[in-house]
Amino acid sequence: MLSLTRILVPTDFSPCADQALSHAAFLARDAGAALHLVHVVPVAAGYPMAGVRAEETEHRSEVRSRLYDLVEAHDLGDLEVEVHIDRGDDGVGATLLQAADRVDADLLTLGTHGRQGVRRFFLGSEAEEVIRGADRPVLAVRQQDDAQTPSTVDHVLVPVDLSEHSLVALDHAVELARRYEADLRLLHVVQPGPNYDLPGIYQGALPPQTDVVDALTRNAHQELNDLIEQVALPAERIHKDIRHGNPPVEILDTVAEEAVDMVVLASHGRSGLERFLMGSVAEKVIRSAPVPVFVVKAYGTSLVSRES
């Protein structure tokens, strides 16, 4: 099961931040976790919040009032909620990462603005900075005109490249599917072409490309079947896809074609979204996916043990 004790939710009082808060509240209720609602006051000219004043004390009082208004508007009275107001002396993104460390958050849940996904948060690309720099899972919730409620998450997609990193993401996807009572779809993308990063068994005297792709496809079917046997969900709620092509394109196409409500991705590398599958797939998916993306850090903290 997911081990969730503290969820950090940044807000700039925008609609997309509200949507992220709704998802965080749903998880918090299910897990009995506390919510830490944080607003960062940027130390920069042109701060966009309406009604900003020069006197910081007066401004902090106004912000605190707005934070408690959010608690009331989202009907969070049944949850343990703490509000925080931080100065962004080191930048908004860095300050949020510091806040996550300070409260020892298990999960960060943040909204992303615009039709291009993670584009601008507060004054700039702070959402990207948070997702890249966090050493714990991040749920990125992209703003939707017709926002779904978390209770309507019926279909969770997890791309699996059969690496240890993606298996950690699979563990989280299984637990999220259980919490949402959703179907789970495992996707493996075979990328044809001469630049395919072949496993060791194919190094040396390479067979023709078609034979390589066929072999990889057969192996993927067997590996996914083996994984599915270990998944603690009813068989009728587990699906698998093996596609051929460009990984981010195939992932996004699957989201659209299969009516996916949430994507769970692994990111590789200690510095965040460096490489996934054949490239920066995770970053491309987060930028373009029209649904929330749950990012699991390969070298960060995990919310679920493999034994569970």
In a domain, 305, yes or no: no
The H or E element spanning position 35 is strand 34-42
In a domain, 308, yes or no: no
Residues 206 and 272 in one domain: yes
Last-in-domain residue among 111, 142, 173 = 142
Residues 174 and 276 in one domain: yes
Residues 94 and 193 in one domain: no
Assign residue 272 the CATH number of its domain.
3.40.50.620
In a domain, 147, yes or no: no
Q: How far apart are CA 184 and CA 171, in angstroms?
A: 11
pLDDT in tens, the chain (308 residues): 778 899 999 998 988 899 899 999 998 998 899 999 999 987 755 555 444 444 455 578 889 999 999 999 999 999 999 999 998 888 888 999 999 999 999 999 988 864 443 433 432 367 778 888 888 999 988 777 776 667 778 999 999 988 888 888 999 999 999 988 999 999 999 887 654 454 544 444 445 567 778 888 898 899 999 999 989 899 999 999 999 988 899 999 999 999 999 999 988 644 444 433 323 787 788 888 888 999 998 777 888 865 55
Q: How far apart are CA 69 and CA 304, in angstroms?
A: 33
CA 207 vs CA 192, 202, 234: distances in Å: 13, 8, 39
Last-in-domain residue among 114, 142, 170 = 142
Residues 103 and 21 in one domain: yes
In a domain, 36, yes or no: yes
* pTM of the predicted model as reported, rounded to 2 decimal places: 0.83
- Tally Cβ neighbours within 10 Å of residue 104: 12
Last-in-domain residue among 109, 142, 175 = 142
What strands lie across the sheet with 138-142, from one edge to the other? 81-88, 34-42, 6-10, 107-112, 138-142, 293-297, 262-267, 155-159, 183-190, 238-244
Tokens of 108: 């960060």
Total tally of structural domains belonging to the chain: 2
| E strand intervals along 55-194 | 81-88, 107-112, 138-142, 155-159, 183-190
- Tally Cβ neighbours within 10 Å of residue 59: 17
Residues 262 and 196 in one domain: yes
**Residue 149 CA neighbour count, 13 Å, CB half:** 4
Residues 123 and 172 in one domain: no
Residues 173 and 81 in one domain: no
The H or E element spanning position 131 is helix 126-133
In a domain, 204, yes or no: yes
Q: Count each helix (H run) and each strand (E run) in the chain, helices first.
A: 8, 10
Closest to 134 in 3D by CA, of 285, 262, 279, 7 = 7
Domain that holds residue 91: 6-142
List beta partners, residue 41.
Answer: 87
